[in-house]
Amino acid sequence: MTKSNQPKSSSTISLSTKCNGWGMGKDLDEKNCPISCVDFQAKYQKFGAYFYNPPKQEGAQKTITLTFDNGYENGFTEKILDTLDKKQVKAVFFLTGDYAKKNAPIIEKMVSKNHVLGNHSQTHPSMPGISVEKMKSEIQTLHKTIMEKFGVEMTLFRPPKGEFSEQSLAVTQEMGYKSIFWSFAYADWDPKKQPDENEALNSLKSHLHDGAIYLLHTVSQTNANILADFIDHAKSQGYEFIVQMQQ
């Protein structure tokens, strides 16, 4: 795991351990981006944290980053992968240790299609609620598993539950990772309470903004069914789908 230009372990001791819960809020700027994303990006970018994916320069093609959280398999990930392949779009899939253990063929398909594997921790704990040693173990255990099984060295981390502290962000950075939050998410994670497809699609469309990071869950049948239409709409509005963090 890379550690260049990153804080030493001792430097994390004095950092705040206060737990912050991330939610992008409803207030938007003139570009339709949540104001909280811009504010938090400015505050925490020194720790390698991304709350949206800031555009490189004014006037460049608008971008969106699709990310999926994979806590467990519910039978829809392969349909999502097939749609992404058909539409020639790459995405980031954030995996937990349990998912990596039980779903090797699906992960192999992700890798074969050149999607990005992200680290969502080994056991999905709230990072601010555990020791520094445990934080490192949560990241490194899954990192090692993915490297050994699939030959992929992950560099993107999504904090479980969207909870973080200055200390947990610094530890994550020290482990060679960027912390990836989101600038759009909605209630898609409960298989028994799936959102209406038309309402969900309209929500995804109406929240488009340059540098958007969308958080979706692969357990959602709604997401699997509306993904192709959403991709077509975003492309029609001039958006390019990317997986690189631009700053």
Give the pLDDT confidence of 31-81 residue by residue, as tens digits: 999 999 999 999 999 999 999 999 877 778 999 999 999 999 999 999 999
Mean pLDDT of 80-87: 98
pLDDT range class, residue 5, cuts 50, 70, 90: very low
Options 209, 217, 229, 233, the catalytic residue: 217
pLDDT range class, residue 231, cuts 50, 70, 90: very high
Furthest-apart CA pair in the chain: how many Å? 51
Cβ(106)–Cβ(76) under 8 Å? no
3-state DSSP call for residue 95? strand
The tens digit of pLDDT for each residue in 7-32 reads 445 567 689 999 999 999 999 999 99
Rg (CA), the chain: 17
Options 39, 69, 207, 233, the catalytic residue: 69
Mean pLDDT of 181-202: 97
Mean pLDDT of 133-159: 98
Indicate if 207 belongs to the active site: no
Domain map (residue ranges) of the chain: 62-241
How far from chain centre, in Å, is Cα 113?
A: 18
The answer, yes or no, to whether residue 99 has pLDDT greater than 60, is yes
Mean pLDDT taken over the chain: 94
Indicate if 27 belongs to the active site: no
Does the domain formed by 62-241 have CATH 3.40.228.10?
no
